[in-house]
């Protein structure tokens, strides 16, 4: 299972998407400023609190991020290696190791956002934050990407199944990639043409009605945290 929204009633579920986004963004900035052992201890504790507030399991999140492991472990190892004795310099490997750990924390916090924020709310937040037609384009486009991603994934999986059933695995990688790409793009464009027709038939407009968003009293702690993290980052950077 990949990182997706799960309905629930945790503290984070009840927050406005904009305040959660503010916490996330300020956390990233603070993590970049305080990439020291001491700073990372505090940020680890904060990550724990945020994940608990979002009812998100760190172990399940690690499982979903395992494909990043070669990069996270590889960077410090590669930096520590030297040609000639002593072959591995621990001091060289420490900064990249801290950086890798920082990335892990940032990924945890963003996983908590993704788990607790429905797409409709994110779309409304985008459209209300980014003004004008550009914001509306982003809002509509992002909603369409969410809608069509599973369909196109299924299209591609079907194409690969069909290839496999016809002994496609015995072809060269070049042929397999070409055939998958041709069929994938053709289906996507056919869907796009049908979608455009359907949108026109339904009076596709620049000014549709959006779900209400409300920044309320319960968002205050989150906003305060975002301001605090930003202030700490600013203080540390000066």
Residue 66, number of CB atoms within 10 A of its CB: 9
Using the rule CB under 8 A, give the single segment among 7-15, 44-52, 91-99, 223-231 that binds another protein: 91-99
CA angle 116-148-125, nearest 5°? 40
In 3D space, the residue among 143, 106, 90 whose CA is nearest the CA of residue 31 turns out to be 106
Using the rule CB under 8 A, give the single segment among 49-57, 83-91, 182-190, 227-235 that binds another protein: 182-190
In 3D space, the residue among 108, 20, 119 whose CA is nearest the CA of residue 64 turns out to be 108
Is 16 a binder of another protein (CB under 8 A)?
no
Is 95 a binder of another protein (CB under 8 A)?
yes
Is 176 a binder of another protein (CB under 8 A)?
yes
* CA 120 distance to own-chain centroid: 16
Per the CB < 8 A criterion, the answer to whether 160 and 125 are in contact is no
Q: Please tell me the distance from the alpha carbon of residue 57 to that of residue 35, in angstroms, as a whole number.
A: 24
Q: Indicate which single residue of 199, 227, 231, 237 sits in contact with another protein (rule: CB under 8 A).
A: 199
Q: Please tell me the distance from the alpha carbon of residue 99 to that of residue 97, in angstroms, as a whole number.
A: 5
Query: What minimum distance in Å lies between the beta carbon of 100 and another protein?
Result: 7
Is 236 a binder of another protein (CB under 8 A)?
no
Using the rule CB under 8 A, give the single segment among 6-14, 36-44, 111-119, 223-231 that binds another protein: 111-119
Query: What minimum distance in Å lies between the beta carbon of 43 and another protein?
Result: 13
Q: Which residues are registered as beta bridge partners of 81?
A: 88
The residues in 120-159 that bind another protein, with binding defined as CB under 8 A, are 122-123, 125-126, 137-138, 140-142, 144-146, 148-149, 151-153, 155-157
Is 10 a binder of another protein (CB under 8 A)?
no
């Amino acid at each position: 299972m990949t990182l997706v929204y799960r309905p629930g009633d945790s503290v984070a579920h009840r927050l406005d998407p904009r305040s959660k986004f503010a916490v996330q963004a300020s956390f990233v900035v603070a993590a970049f400023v305080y990439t020291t052992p001491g700073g990372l201890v505090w940020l680890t504790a904060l990550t724990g609190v945020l994940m608990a507030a979002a009812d998100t399991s760190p172990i399940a999140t690690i499982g979903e991020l395992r494909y990043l492991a070669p990069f996270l472990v590889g960077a410090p190892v590669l930096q520590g290696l030297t040609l000639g004795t002593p072959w591995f310099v621990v001091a060289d490997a420490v900064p990249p190791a801290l950086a890798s750990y920082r990335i892990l924390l940032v990924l945890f916090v963003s996983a908590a956002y993704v788990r607790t924020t429905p797409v409709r709310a994110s779309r409304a937040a985008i459209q209300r934050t980014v003004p004008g037609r550009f914001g509306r384009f982003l809002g509509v486009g992002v909603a369409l990407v969410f809608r069509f991603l599973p369909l196109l994934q299924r299209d591609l999986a079907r194409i690969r199944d069909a290839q496999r059933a016809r002994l496609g695995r015995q072809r060269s990688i070049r042929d397999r990639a070409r055939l998958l790409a041709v069929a994938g793009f053709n289906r996507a464009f056919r869907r796009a043409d049908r979608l455009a027709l359907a949108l026109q038939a339904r009076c596709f407009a620049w000014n549709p009605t959006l779900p209400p968003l409300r920044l309320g009293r319960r968002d205050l702690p989150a906003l305060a945290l975002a301001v605090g993290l930003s202030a700490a980052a600013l203080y540390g950077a000066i």
